[in-house]
């Protein structure tokens, strides 16, 4: 009895690994310094977003006592009200401009 396997090379399309935030620090004026798992880093500026005309779910972040409750959870920055920041979106802008500025 012979066993023969017909192994074929992996032909799946490679999937780009999602960027994850590996660390961050809080700065004044509702800004964060973020570090990514690939070593890139930059500034996330939320000032215009949370103090703008329509901050929506980001409105609670305008309270400095709430803003400083940011935490790193599964590679993204989150706040107690469930608001988070998409690390892939942040990474793309930071690689291009050094800063992600929401408006």
Contact of 36 with 28, CB cutoff 8 Å: no
Distance CA 29, CA 65 (A): 13
Query: In this model, does residue 4 exceed pLDDT 90?
Result: no
Q: How far lies 27's CA from each of 30, 47, 64, 70, in Å?
A: 7, 11, 11, 12
- 85: closest CA among 67, 63, 97? 67
The predicted pLDDT at position 102 comes to: 79
Give residue-wise pLDDT tens across range 77-103. 999 999 999 999 899 999 999 999 976
Query: In this model, does residue 7 exceed pLDDT 90?
Result: no
The predicted pLDDT at position 72 comes to: 96
CATH domain 21-101 topology: NE0471 N-terminal domain-like (3.30.2020)
For residues 19-45, average pLDDT: 95
Burial of 65 (0-12, 13-18, 19+ CB in 10 A): exposed
| Domain definitions of the chain by residue range | 21-101
Distance CA 59, CA 44 (A): 16
Give residue-wise pLDDT tens across range 34-81. 999 999 999 999 999 999 999 999 999 999 999 999 999 999 999 999
Query: In this model, does residue 23 exceed pLDDT 80?
Result: yes
């Amino acid at each position: 009895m012979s066993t023969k396997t017909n192994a074929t090379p992996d032909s799946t399309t490679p999937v780009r690994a999602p960027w994850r935030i590996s660390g961050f620090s809080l700065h004044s004026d509702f800004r964060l310094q973020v570090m990514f798992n690939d070593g890139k880093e930059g500034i996330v500026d939320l000032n215009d977003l949370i103090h703008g005309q329509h901050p929506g779910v980001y409105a609670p972040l305008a309270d400095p006592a709430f803003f400083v409750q940011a935490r790193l959870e599964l590679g993204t920055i989150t706040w107690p009200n469930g608001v988070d920041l998409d690390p892939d979106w942040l990474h793309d802008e930071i690689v291009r401009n050094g800063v992600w500025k929401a408006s």
